[in-house]
Structure 1
Amino acid sequence: MRFGVNYTPARGWFHHWLDFDLDDVRADLDSVAALGLDHIRVFPLWPLFQPNRTMIRPRAVEQLVSLVDAAGERGLDVNVDGLQGHLSSFDFVPSWTTTWHRRNLFTDPDVVDAQARLLTGLAAALAERPNFLGMTVGNEFNQFSGPPHPDPDRIRPAQAGRWLRRMLAACEEGAPGRTHLHASYDAAFHDGEHPFTPAHSARLGAMTAVHSWVFNGTAQRHGPDGAAEHLAAYLVELSKAWADDPARPVWLQETGAPAPHVPPGRAAAFTEATVRNALDCPGLWGITWWCSHDVDRALADFPELEYGLGLLTNDRELKPAGEVFARLAREHRSDGPTSPPPPPAPRRTALVLDAGDVEEAPGRAVSAPGGAFFEAWMRVASGGGRPAVVLAQRAGDAAHLAARGIAEVVAVGEAG
């Protein structure tokens, strides 16, 4: 079990790449390592690393390598998100894809070629670093492909699949054998019109990434307790329904305690409940909290909830949620003073999800907050059950059920 954080620099947020200061980075990483965590996820801003379609800035790549090396000196492994892309409500796309040069981020041949070159270049620069885990294609890059983005690059699921395969192949070309994956925000699992699908998430790349945010309608409907505390575990289990490999690992790559949906006074309790519920999911690779450090309030125009998501303040002081996360990490470390808890037992009962066609899942809205499947799963989980999820197409497949340790399937109407 891996415990880490999404690294948000304490000084200047991700704009720190403009005035990169390795001493500041080292101080940040010291505060992360002091929590007893084992990895970070980092975010090079696309326009700064590739300001022209045929130019990848050597100095920017050198700075990324120095960050990865500094993390390694502190016992931290590193996953690198290649295309930024989108972060905390801001889009970071290079000028050669916008306005007079506007072209589709997913289908224009020149743009796709350039994206692939960047991913290969970053991966190759890090390929020999022992603490380099691998690449994530980009942070929720799927948000560019449809509503609610104000200017989406519209594509169909088949085009999304082709783009993802090309990007993952580019990562593998640069760093063969590393753990390369992609990450979508939860429209991929909940919106039947969205071109990125659950099958893409659960079948492409080395593992499945899920991002759990209770402001997706869960907290609005249920408050900060109950269903909100089970949301991360729900998404982990939901993703498994589409996996062809029953043993495919799932990475809870983002989760956090966003105010006011989770009141600041409840952040520590919410963190504990969310993490413990997720740890009860078999096949979980790790949990990476969003985020390491708060956003400095001297920086303008962030949504209010983004400023206080850190485990540490932007003065690098530990917050109550950080104390909880660090304690849970210590409890589950295999090299800690005590033996970690045993892995969770298989989830023996599965709720049957009918989202339509397996590849495109046009009916996946039933799994969104307020949907019949979501609400049924949450009733079972909040009542102390440990539900898994199985697609309707596989509910009668004895071999599939056995491989996942499922002994009983239950229809949504029978769950309660």
Structure 2
Amino acid sequence: MPSAVRFGVNYTPSQGWFHHWLDFEIDAVRADLDSIAALGLDHIRVFPIWPYFQPNRSLIRPRAVEQLVQLADAAAERGLDVNVDGLQGHLSSFDFVPSWTRTWHRRNLFTDPDAVSGQADYLRTLAAALADRPNFIGMTIGNEINQFAAGPHPDPDPATTDEAGRWLRRLLAACEEGAPGRTHLHAEYDATWYQDDQPFTPAQAARLGAVTAVHSWVFNGTAQRHGRTGTATEQHAAYLVELSKAWADDPHRPVWLQEVGAPAPLIPAEHAAAFTRATVDAALDCEDLWGITWWCSHDVSRSLADFPELEYSLGLLTEDRRVKPAGEEVARIAREQREAPHRPAPRGIALAVDAGDEEDAPRRSVCAPGGPVSEAFARLSAEGVRPALVLAGRAGDTAHLAARGIREVVTPADVGT
């Protein structure tokens, strides 16, 4: 019998946001973690800020690493496991990259040998510092690092698909060297699945690392097109989980819904709990789901300037640690799943995905919001059909289909609009 789905939250400190590393106070962290543990969650995802931890290519600050370990130990005391994102990278519209990679020291993050070597040293150091902690899940290379590789980033570090693949393999190996046998992975934002010229590909996401991570945000055009209660909106996270399986070689590769949230105003505050319930219920009806990690734990303080408006209100808790309706809903779902876990049946009908060559997916925009694959998935879901997704090139592979429990394959044209 498969393991129960993990429920966690992306930890956003209530005091100072991620700038708390500059004025680290373990007592404030402990209070935050108490409020998270009270929701009945079992893990957190933690974000060291890369330039704060590695301000020079040959300097990884020992004190910062010690503080990360203190945070992990405080989480363990509260029954919380910890995943650590190494390269921050990009967070909530802000970029955090060290000065040794920019302006006068401009280096391509993905292809410059010195830059990549420095990143490997950094990830290896963080992993090694936590390797003996029983509550350490493993490393994520970085948060949505693919946004640096292509437009719409205003100053991209261009890379080819092959270069992106070599970079991922090198840094995953560094994580494994630091903490052998842990769950090390990488995570990209949804351009990987939807943007034709994005060098980080669906095949890399679904085949490299211990699990596949997907990040589901309905402000990507889904909620704008379908509304807050549209099937495509409420099923978007499930859609990404199933889309990732189309590229996986392992028919039962675990998938981690590593980020999902209720962004205002597309999801109004009074509807956040209902959206949370619908989104999580849909995701739980996907096989091989490793876990769901909500974005985020605590609201961003209004005293901090220049965030996009939606970023201030994404927390399950307020900045003074009061539980919000979405937090109550997540706590309720986590409790329900502990008491009576949902065991989804295989999805017998699959929708064929033709994105071109499966390694590069040059036509993956067919999967984007409003595209034929996404729209067909939503229509089938609205009709009560629990669709899977399969690459068109595998639609005739009877062994692959049987391993996934797929009995029938249809095309977007068969479904209509």
Q: TM-score, normalised by structure 2?
A: 0.98
Q: CA deviation at 1:383?
A: 2.1
**Cα shift readout 1:109-143 (whole Å, capped 9, x = no counterpart):** 00000000000000000000000000000000000
Q: CA deviation at 1:278?
A: 0.3
Contact 2:284–2:342 (8 Å) recurs in 1:
no
Measure the CA separation in 1 of the matches of 2:296 and 2:134: 24
Q: Is 1:314 the equivalent of 2:322?
A: no
1:322 is matched by which residue type in structure 2?
G
Aligned to 1:131: 135
Q: Is 1:301 the equivalent of 2:306?
A: yes
Aligned to 1:263: 268
Q: Is 1:117 the equivalent of 2:132?
A: no
Stretches of structure 2 that go unaligned for 5 or more consecutive residues are none
Three-state SS of the structure 1 residue aligned to 2:168 is: helix
Aligned to 2:295: 290
Matches within 5 A, 1:148-167: 148-167=152-171
Measure the CA separation in 1 of the matches of 2:85 and 2:342: 31
Three-state SS of the structure 1 residue aligned to 2:247 is: coil
Q: Tell me how many residue pairs correspond in the alignment.
A: 411
Measure the CA separation in 2 of the matches of 1:163 and 1:7: 27
Q: Is 1:31 the equivalent of 2:54?
A: no
Q: CA deviation at 1:412?
A: 1.0
Measure the CA separation in 2 of the matches of 1:16 and 1:180: 25
Measure the CA separation in 1 of the matches of 2:378 and 2:237: 12
Three-state SS of the structure 1 residue aligned to 2:86 is: strand
Contact 2:285–2:342 (8 Å) recurs in 1:
no
Q: CA deviation at 1:320?
A: 0.3
Aligned to 1:332: 337
**Cα shift readout 1:283-327 (whole Å, capped 9, x = no counterpart):** 000000000000000000000000000000000000000000000
Q: Is 1:232 the equivalent of 2:237?
A: yes
Measure the CA separation in 2 of the matches of 1:117 and 1:193: 30
1:180 is matched by which residue type in structure 2?
H
Q: CA deviation at 1:409?
A: 0.5
2:143 is matched by which residue type in structure 1?
N
Q: CA RMSD in A?
A: 0.6
Q: How high is the sequence identity, in percent, across the aligned residues? A: 74
Aligned to 1:184: 188
Q: CA deviation at 1:280?
A: 0.2
Measure the CA separation in 2 of the matches of 1:410 and 1:358: 18
Q: Is 1:146 the equivalent of 2:150?
A: yes
1:374 is matched by which residue type in structure 2?
S
Measure the CA separation in 1 of the matches of 2:382 and 2:170: 41
2:365 is matched by which residue type in structure 1?
A
**Cα shift readout 1:56-103 (whole Å, capped 9, x = no counterpart):** 000000000000000000000000001000000000000000110011
Q: Is 1:89 the equivalent of 2:103?
A: no
Measure the CA separation in 1 of the matches of 2:329 and 2:282: 14
Three-state SS of the structure 1 residue aligned to 2:137 is: strand
Aligned to 1:76: 80
2:222 is matched by which residue type in structure 1?
T
**Cα shift readout 1:156-179 (whole Å, capped 9, x = no counterpart):** 100000000001000000000000
Stretches of structure 1 that go unaligned for 5 or more consecutive residues are none
Matches within 5 A, 1:193-204: 193-204=197-208
Three-state SS of the structure 1 residue aligned to 2:343 is: coil
Q: Is 1:395 the equivalent of 2:410?
A: no
Three-state SS of the structure 2 residue aligned to 1:307 is: helix
Measure the CA separation in 2 of the matches of 1:206 and 1:135: 10
Three-state SS of the structure 2 residue aligned to 1:350 is: strand
Q: TM-score, normalised by structure 1?
A: 0.98
**Cα shift readout 1:233-272 (whole Å, capped 9, x = no counterpart):** 0000000000000110000000000001111111000000
Measure the CA separation in 1 of the matches of 2:318 and 2:233: 24
List structure 1 segments (4+ residues) > 6 angstroms apart after TM superposition. Answer: none
Q: CA deviation at 1:349?
A: 0.4
Measure the CA separation in 2 of the matches of 1:372 and 1:53: 45
**Cα shift readout 1:368-416 (whole Å, capped 9, x = no counterpart):** 0011111111111122220000000000000000000101111111125
Contact 2:8–2:41 (8 Å) recurs in 1:
yes
Measure the CA separation in 1 of the matches of 2:45 and 2:119: 19
**Cα shift readout 1:350-373 (whole Å, capped 9, x = no counterpart):** 000100001000010000001111
1:373 is matched by which residue type in structure 2?
V
Measure the CA separation in 1 of the matches of 2:238 and 2:341: 18
Q: Is 1:54 the equivalent of 2:23?
A: no
Three-state SS of the structure 2 residue aligned to 1:409 is: strand
Q: CA deviation at 1:45?
A: 0.2
Measure the CA separation in 2 of the matches of 1:219 and 1:143: 21
Measure the CA separation in 2 of the matches of 1:146 and 1:192: 11
Three-state SS of the structure 2 residue aligned to 1:241 is: helix
**Cα shift readout 1:20-44 (whole Å, capped 9, x = no counterpart):** 0000000000000000000000000
Measure the CA separation in 2 of the matches of 1:322 and 1:392: 40
